[in-house]
Amino acid sequence: MGSFGKGKLEVEEQSAAAVCRTAHSLSSSIVRKRSDPELVSRIRFRVLRQLLANLQQVILGTKLCVLFPAIPLAMLAHLYCFKRPWIFALSLLGLAPLAERVCFLTEQIANYTGPTVGGLLNATCGNATELIIAMLALHQRKIHVLKYSLLGSILSNLLLVLGTSLFSGGLANIKDHQRFDRKQSDVSTSMMLLGLLCVALPLMVRYSVEESESAVSSAAALWLSRANSTFMLGAYAAYLFFQLKTHRQLFDSPEDEEDNVLEEEAEIGLWSALVWLIGMTLTIALLSEYVVGTIEEAADTTCWLHHLCFQK
């Protein structure tokens, strides 16, 4: 009976990995398209052929490639001092394909580093846009932009990303049950609860005192917020150590997964993916600076247009 239960558990873990990979492939195929390698195979020079192949895979390998011209247009608009709403709109359009391509590049790196490190890299670099915007907003003392940016990121990841994953998994396995690894979900849930408590505690301190002590409560909330930030960074470092070192076997895919799941081959090399990833991250930082610097003027223009439309 024990061996039967163990075998059943292994089958469920393999099925869970297959569901995850199939659902991810389905969601990725919505915005991605395959490039034809024969277009650049006739070029004699190896370096030029590899460069054009990388350009074909990275730039033209997505259906959002039509938005890439917005990147130089946003730079030109900022250089020639166009109106702020134009810079804001072009920067947002340019960030869309960059964010998708960063996820693509981290997946390419994961083919060389393994699923665990690749997943962590994808989770980190996949949120590069939100992280850079938050840092720039904090540097420019735009606290409201920072708060609403973090709020939107939290809600989109908890609701939109999770719901899309479950929906895509259901479509990919419409005749079967969806399964997930309980051990991994327990760790993720614990981290989410820890983050929720660290975010909620300063807010509770601020609103738990009377108005006459608002200055004292604000100072205490600021101190507690900084302490919680340091604690969350330490908790995330401990989570990485737990996942990559001490309990790596809980997060590794089964060894015989290759027999059940069709592995995707890397489309570009490791060093090429790293160079592209660094370049796109720097471009995201530049466009994010444009977004943060022009968001208030763009919001004022939007409110004025909204008011004008309702006046009519």
Q: Tell me: the pLDDT tens digits for 155-173?
A: 887 888 888 888 887 887 7
What CA–CA distance (Å, rounded) separates 102 from 178? 28
What CA–CA distance (Å, rounded) separates 78 from 87? 6
In 3D, which of 55, 24, 20 has the Cα closest to residue 37? 55
**What does the pLDDT average to over 252-271?**
60
Residue 35 lies in a domain: no
In 3D, which of 59, 29, 75 has the Cα closest to residue 280? 59
Residue 46 lies in a domain: no
Please state the pTM of the whole predicted model.
0.68
Do 293 and 140 touch, CB atoms closer than 8 A?
Answer: yes
Residue 51 lies in a domain: no
Residue 36 lies in a domain: no
**CA dihedral of residues 194, 195, 201, 204 (deg, nearest 10):** -120
Least confident residue range of 27-36, 167-176, 214-223, 284-293: 27-36
Domain count, the chain: 1
Residue 49 lies in a domain: no
**pLDDT value, residue 71:** 92
The kind and range of the H/E element at 282 are helix 270-311
Residue 70 lies in a domain: yes
Residue 92 lies in a domain: yes
pLDDT band at 72 (very low <50, low <70, confident <90, very high): very high
pLDDT band at 104 (very low <50, low <70, confident <90, very high): confident
Is residue 73's pLDDT more than 90?
yes
In 3D, which of 117, 77, 106 has the Cα closest to residue 94? 77
Is residue 189's pLDDT more than 60?
yes
Tokens for 244?
Answer: 């990559």
Whole-number average pLDDT of the chain: 74
pLDDT band at 4 (very low <50, low <70, confident <90, very high): very low
Is residue 306's pLDDT more than 80?
no
Domain that holds residue 249: 2-30+62-311
**What does the pLDDT average to over 30-50?**
60
Tokens for 135?
Answer: 């840092």
